[in-house]
A and B are shown apart, each in its own frame.
Chain A
């Protein structure tokens, strides 16, 4: 295995990275953890003329939590840092779980949440919990910054709304509301190491009479992570009885549009959407009752 030949730049500032990205045009690719781009290059699917390493940019790797504003994860913060961050473990257990179970120790020590999102695999583990929790991403270019909701970000397998001259600089997750709970679960043939065959992320907020708001996000069962809107409608405004949770799970399976591939058949995926939706709804409810 040899990689294609390319030029390598290691900018120290975001401005210089953005200038290089704009200057090198089509052939320029960003490199954070490298765990996706290296594989694509070694398989010959990607032939960059210029690779821009982001890991040396100061201030891009921070993780910060504010009791009012919520959580901000810098673009080059490693998955293993996210997985063990005390505030994420305490306030965002669904996200912590997603990054704890994905890939393996080495990949988690290299890869980043931003990279997971920007590569836009339909099976990306961080997407369902982050979309469910209403995460926003910040995209920077020489023209300035824009912030957009993560559920508007994905366009198809490997495709996002990002423009060529943009760099994702951070991911922002709002503070969970009181009496809310979130959950993410995934299933694959060999636990974590395999890419998820199905993943489900849920976030729900309750009040005295029942569910005030619910977001249910299905991963790896459509070209992009999708919100199960009919299921959300069914669960909202009601008390979550066991019966309702089972009806919701069946409804989510209806909304999934999976394909059959090497990892699983479409039929099995649909059945697993029902199973994981039931389990994540139950866990989100349980967590909300404790919050």
Chain B
């Protein structure tokens, strides 16, 4: 029996009928065409499928779609809702050369969003701990760590300016 679920993704309300055995990852990618979120290992090791669920990063491959009824989800598409202007995290990834093949990028940026929202100026060690569930098979870790540090500074300054205004 299909379950009718209602949930928000990047601020947009969706109502979808889903089979109980389908994962959030499958529903995001196949039903909502939000293919920015990747499917990697399928067992919660690689982080490519990470999304924010009510403000916490989770693995969408280990989340049943039926369980997100009434919840709020942010995917990488939600970082740049206009589709034109990049989020400071994305800008920093581009600027520092933190994107190679790009497969891990969506998960890395979601992890960065989670980390920076709790800790706006993390140390290198804290960044690495925050990324411990994310694999980059191009092994571009140094640039990714740098990108998050740069993004943290940009976001703090951005906020400072806003407060100043």
Residues of A within 8 A of B (CB): 1-8, 10, 31, 34-35, 38-39, 42-43, 51, 53, 55, 80, 103-107, 109-110, 191-193
* A134 to B58 CA separation, bound complex (whole angstroms): 32
* A109 to B51 CA separation, bound complex (whole angstroms): 12
Residues of B within 8 A of A55 (CB): 67
* A192 to B66 CA separation, bound complex (whole angstroms): 30
**Residue on B nearest A4 in the bound complex, by CB:** B21
Assess whether B19 is in contact with A53, with CB atoms less than 8 Å apart.
no
Minimum CB–CB distance for A98 against chain B, Å: 16
With an 8 Å Cβ cutoff, the count of chain B residues facing the other chain is 32
Known: A43-B43, A105-B132. 8 other contacts (CB 8 A): A34-B63, A38-B43, A39-B43, A53-B66, A104-B133, A105-B57, A105-B114, A106-B62
Residues of A within 8 A of B3 (CB): 8
Which of B20, B56, B69, B134 contacts A51, CB < 8 Å?
B20
**Residue on B nearest A84 in the bound complex, by CB:** B118
Residues of A within 8 A of B56 (CB): 80, 109
* A192 to B50 CA separation, bound complex (whole angstroms): 18
* A2 to B22 CA separation, bound complex (whole angstroms): 8
Residues of A within 8 A of B58 (CB): 106, 109-110
Residues of A within 8 A of B130 (CB): 105
Is B152 interfacial (CB 8 A cutoff)?
A: no
Minimum CB–CB distance for B136 against chain A, Å: 14
Minimum CB–CB distance for A259 against chain B, Å: 23
**Residue on B nearest A48 in the bound complex, by CB:** B21
Assess whether B22 is in contact with A103, with CB atoms less than 8 Å apart.
no
24 A-B pairs in the complex with CB atoms less than 8 angstroms apart: A1-B42, A3-B22, A4-B21, A5-B19, A6-B20, A7-B1, A7-B20, A8-B20, A8-B64, A31-B64, A34-B64, A38-B63, A38-B64, A39-B43, A43-B43, A53-B64, A105-B133, A106-B44, A106-B57, A107-B44, A107-B133, A109-B53, A110-B59, A110-B62
